[in-house]
Amino acid sequence: MMKDNEKKFTLPMLESPRTLRVKFRKVGNLQYISHLDLQRTFSRVLVRAGLPLWYTKGFNPHIKMVFGMPLPVGAESECELLDIRIEREMSCDEVKARLAAELTEELGVLEVYPAERKFSEIAFAAYDYTIKTAGDPAENAARIKACLAGEALHIIKKGKAGEREVNILPLIREITVTAEGELIRMHAILAAGEGNYLSPEALVSALRAQTGILSGNPTEEHYRILRRAAYLADGVTEFR
């Protein structure tokens, strides 16, 4: 009997490779794996799923994979994006089902659909922050708001030309800060375009330096960063 992962050889060939976009989550303990490890993981998952993948040509063929907005180590996401190419006819539902069978709850496929926009069209990304820090949450939230309402909030960026001071406030499209019980919650929409990108971790670092939050006992203080969505240049239309 023919195995499932051999069925691809009976599928009709496409006139040209088709690009499909895989939206997936990366949460829990998987926030600590690097982008390189994620690439290696998906290389194995895609093969195990028995998809009719298109491979690059040449001496060392490999699966064509393109990730959108690589996530910093330590951050979680509900909107990770991966483009793959297939060379034979297979529905998006079938691709999703095959991937889901090989993935876990922490690294789970959410959607599969034809890719129509380029990753270069991503301009912003939305993040939820949950912060547990020493001191009164309401007072800390007020200090954060005051800091964000100022004229500048600087970080040090390292580049080929050396270090330079950058004001990140123009890279924050929108941000709300609230105190809830023992926690501080922030929702931020940050610049995420090519050449105009603010790391969600950099915002935490800047606020720590300016307000003193998260500067105490690391076993008692902690924070979580969760990416929720990506947007086009208008900051409202969700990227798909």
Which pLDDT tens digit goes with each residue over 142-172? 999 999 999 999 998 887 778 889 999 999 9
Query: Which uninterrupted H or E stretch holds 204?
Result: helix 200-211
Strands (E), 89-234: 109-114, 124-132, 154-159, 162-167, 172-180, 183-193, 196-197, 222-231
Residue 61 has pLDDT above 90, yes or no: no
Query: pTM of the entire structure?
Result: 0.91
Query: Which uninterrupted H or E stretch holds 225?
Result: strand 222-231
How many whole angstroms separate alpha carbon 159 and alpha carbon 40?
27
Give the lowest-confidence range in 87-96, 149-158, 206-215.
149-158
CATH 3.30.2350.10 given to domain 121-231:
yes
Q: Are 191 and 171 spatial neighbours (Cβ–Cβ below 8 Å)?
A: yes
Query: Domain 4-116 belongs to what topology?
Result: Alpha-Beta Plaits (3.30.70)
The domain limits of the chain are 4-116, 121-231
